[in-house]
Structure 1
Amino acid sequence: MVLEKMVAEKKIIEKIDEWTRIPSFDSYMLNMMKLEYVDFDRHILRMSIIVPEKFCNQMLTLHGGIMTTLIDIVSTIVVTTYDIDNLVPGWSVDMSMSFSTPILKGDKILIESHLYKIGKSLAFTESTIYDSNSQVCSLVFCKGLVLV
């Protein structure tokens, strides 16, 4: 089921807003990270963030744990686009992440997550983080997000 683009965008923004109000780690991180919605088209969600110093390691590059959390949150949101009114995602089963290029403090990054398969109980995503020069910085395969 592919949502009409404008309807989907509105529902995604509403879903993100709803999640920011539910007391949980995800809502804490969503509020703290200030993720911005960029675009959605055919199960590909794009969100962005300007990297603050508090998310960096001692070398002033984005911490790998923060990158993993960003991907986990954005890939969870894209899974819900399959049936945004009824689908409740559970938890990630397996994530394989490769870091290729450091992301510097103050850089605006783009997180792109693609829902490429959904089954009865698992969803599969592929996500990429790009720097402000559109260079791939991280590639992630989520081999299963449990659907509740």
Structure 2
Amino acid sequence: MSAELQQVQKVWERTRSNSPIYEFLLSEVDIYEAEPGVVRARLQVTARQLNSKGTLHGSFSATVTDWAGGLAIASCGLDATGVSTDIHVNYLSTAKEGDSLEIESRANKVGKSLAFTTVTISKKTESELTVVAQGSHTKYVRTR
């Protein structure tokens, strides 16, 4: 296991125990890869992530953007991943119960006080990935 993945797992375990919403929505997530500034995870969609129409809830994609952006920051060696100053999500497709999601987050820049991240949530089919949502997230961090 890489040092970055160990760091991300450590931050995730601490975060999930202090965040009921993350535990509720992401308890089954598999964080399988991390390198400096990049984290990859997968998750099978369950009923708890769906809206009243039976498709992936928009708030779930926003929560994943928040969560995964923080973990991308953690992959850069930070224990404290900051607080949100801006979050934006583009909803491009949808997913339903049983679909397999691939989540990739990137810390595009981690500065002295702000970190900028992007998150892509894709639905995996037999032959391809279809982007479901893309998010951008800015967090206030203190790196000193």
Q: Scaled by the length of structure 1, what TM-score is found? A: 0.84
- Once the two structures are superposed, what CA deviation does each residue of 1:11-58 show, in whole Å capped at 9, x if it has no partner? 221221122223xxxx21332222221211231101121111122112
Mapping 1:39-58, distance limit 5 Å? 39-58=33-52
Mapping 1:73-112, distance limit 5 Å? 73-84=67-78, 87-112=79-104
Report the counterpart of residue 38 of structure 1 in structure 2.
32
2:9 to 9, 13, 27: 13
1:62·1:102 contact (CA, 8 Å) conserved in 2? yes
Report the counterpart of residue 116 of structure 1 in structure 2.
108
2:135 to 136, 140, 143: 140
Distance 1:15 1:89, change over 3 A: closer
Looking at structure 1, the residues matched to 40 and 73 of structure 2 have their Cα atoms a distance apart, in angstroms, of 13
Which segments of structure 1 move beyond 4 Å, counting only runs of 4 or more?
Answer: none
1:71·1:111 contact (CA, 8 Å) conserved in 2? no
Looking at structure 2, the residues matched to 82 and 103 of structure 1 have their Cα atoms a distance apart, in angstroms, of 30
Q: What SS class does the counterpart of residue 128 from structure 1 fall into?
A: strand
Looking at structure 2, the residues matched to 131 and 93 of structure 1 have their Cα atoms a distance apart, in angstroms, of 28
Q: What SS class does the counterpart of residue 82 from structure 1 fall into?
A: coil
Aligned residues: 137
Give the residue type in structure 1 aligned to 2:88. S
Q: What SS class does the counterpart of residue 10 from structure 2 fall into?
A: helix
- Unpaired runs of 5+ residues, structure 2, are none
Q: Aligned residues: percent identity?
A: 21
Distance 1:48 1:29, change over 3 A: farther
- Once the two structures are superposed, what CA deviation does each residue of 1:74-117 show, in whole Å capped at 9, x if it has no partner? 11111122223xx4222111122111111111111011100011
Give the residue type in structure 2 aligned to 1:146. Y
Give the residue type in structure 1 aligned to 2:6. K
